[in-house]
Amino acid sequence: GGGGGGGGSATESGGKLFVRGLNFDSSEKDVEDLFIKFGKVTEARVATDRETGSSRGFGFVTFEDPRDADDAIRQLDNSEFMGRTIFVQVSKPKAPGGGGGGYGGGGYGGGGGGYGGGSDSG
């Protein structure tokens, strides 16, 4: 059996890619058209807001052949698409208890009160 590819190659994830930085006007069709140049796309999904139905600026693309996904990462990561810079990476299955994360979320600058509080008597 052939040796596995180097770290973080799409072959481990079955050809599924995580794409962020999408233009909010880009549809799943737009995304599929972009990635289909590299091989057969079995699924292209753009995450949408449940309330408004508008794009949340990221999505997932699954290639039939994971090697095509590797090509797409090399060519499209940090490239421009519809006026925005997009970032393409392997969609890692969420490992149980694994750190990392960074998908979805929001939560920038939340909480974090109590800086420089305490009264300094003396």
pLDDT digit string, tens, across residues 52-74? 999 999 999 999 999 999 999 99
Structural domains of the chain ordered from first start: 10-90 (3.30.70.330)
pLDDT of residue 92: 82
Statement: the pTM of the whole predicted model exceeds 0.75: no
Q: Do residues 95 and 102 lie in contact, with contact meaning Cβ atoms separated by under 8 Å?
A: no
pLDDT of residue 69: 96
Which residues make Cβ contacts (< 8 Å) with residue 100, sequence separation at least 6? 92
pLDDT of residue 64: 96
pLDDT digit string, tens, across residues 21-53? 999 999 999 999 999 999 999 999 999 999 999
Q: Which helix (H) or strand (E) holds 17?
A: strand 16-20
